[in-house]
């Protein structure tokens, strides 16, 4: 779906800050930035194995009551008591303050000092001339301040995977929220609070491979390296990312059309219950 919401605060930031060329963000690295595993492309997942059914012999059904609700039948059956196994005792969580746990945490941090969990928000602007610009906020979880930037990458293509190998060789986890906006759809909106909403103040970015311009002052160097890694990944696997995104969009459109043409019918429900003499020992299924 095409979002028509205009992030006013994001657009204002573009007019108030100074940009930083992408090539200054990080040094070259021999590691190839890449997605970990297969990029989701809309292909249906393999079918789940069938769950065993709950069958009650006719002789064990003591009472049956049926109700009609919203086009489905709800059947309530009282059955003979069933012996249930004792619930498993919960496994206590390890105490993170113990010396052994603290030592292990320190070892992991020493082995992966630059590993990050990135929270990303992106608004992707499209226009009739096929120019794509993304306004992005990236927040490294629990480490540095958020960094805002303009990018010539279509960040919608970067939304289909949870983790990647960066140009630094480290694993990065990724959670992204994003939306699409057509520039022509907002070009006639008047100025609000003295700020131009026509995107004329977005920095110019070169054609060709995706690059970016940072708007935040004094960005954290490690965060800049992660941003560069995302763009390296985008450039390295652009065709794969685009094909996978188009597959996901096609699958979404097909599913919406299928649900509209054939709305799912409510399923019938069977509720079983039994009574016992000891409180707390009965159950329903």
pLDDT tens, position by position, for the chain (285 residues)?
444 333 333 333 333 333 333 444 434 445 788 888 888 888 888 888 888 888 899 999 999 999 998 889 999 999 999 887 787 777 676 676 788 877 776 776 666 665 668 889 999 988 777 678 899 999 887 667 889 999 999 999 998 888 888 888 888 888 888 888 877 666 555 544 433 444 556 788 888 899 999 998 888 888 898 899 999 999 999 999 999 999 999 999 999 999 999 998 899 999 999 987 766 554 444
∠ CA 230-221-202, rounded to 5°: 60
Pair of tokens at residue 54: 């709950």
Residues in Cβ contact with 280 at an 8 Å cutoff, skipping those fewer than 6 apart: none
Secondary structure of residue 156 in the 3-state scheme = helix
**Conformation bin of residue 218: beta by default, left when phi > 0, alpha when psi is -120 to 50:** left
Secondary structure of residue 10 in the 3-state scheme = helix
Q: Whole-model pTM?
A: 0.65
- pLDDT of the residue at 244: 93
């Amino acid at each position: 779906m095409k979002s028509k919401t205009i992030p006013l605060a994001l657009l204002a930031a573009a007019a108030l800050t100074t940009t930083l060329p992408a090539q200054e963000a990080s040094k070259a690295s021999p590691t190839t930035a890449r997605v970990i595993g297969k990029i989701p492309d809309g292909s249906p997942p393999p079918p789940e194995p069938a769950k065993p059914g709950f069958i009650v012999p006719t002789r064990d059904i003591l009472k049956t009551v049926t109700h009609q609700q919203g086009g489905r039948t709800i059947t309530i059956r009282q059955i003979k008591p069933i012996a249930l196994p004792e619930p498993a005792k919960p496994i206590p969580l390890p105490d993170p303050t113990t010396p052994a746990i603290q030592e292990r945490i320190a070892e992991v941090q020493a082995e992966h000092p630059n590993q990050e969990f990135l929270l990303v928000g992106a608004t992707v602007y499209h226009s009739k001339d096929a120019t794509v610009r993304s306004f992005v906020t990236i927040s490294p979880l629990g480490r540095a301040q958020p960094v805002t930037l303009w990018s010539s990458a279509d960040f919608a293509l970067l939304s289909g995977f949870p983790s990647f190998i960066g140009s630094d060789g480290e694993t990065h986890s990724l959670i992204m929220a994003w939306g699409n906006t057509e520039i022509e759809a907002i070009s006639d909106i008047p100025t609000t609070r003295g700020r131009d909403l026509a995107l004329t103040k977005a920095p110019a970015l070169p054609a060709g491979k995706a690059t970016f311009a940072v708007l935040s002052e004094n960005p954290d160097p490690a965060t800049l390296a992660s941003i560069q890694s995302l763009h390296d990944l985008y450039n390295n696997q652009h065709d794969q990312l685009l094909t996978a995104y188009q597959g996901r969009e096609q699958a979404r459109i097909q599913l919406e059309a299928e649900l509209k043409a054939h709305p799912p019918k409510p399923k019938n429900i069977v509720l079983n219950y039994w009574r016992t003499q000891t409180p707390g020992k009965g159950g329903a299924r």
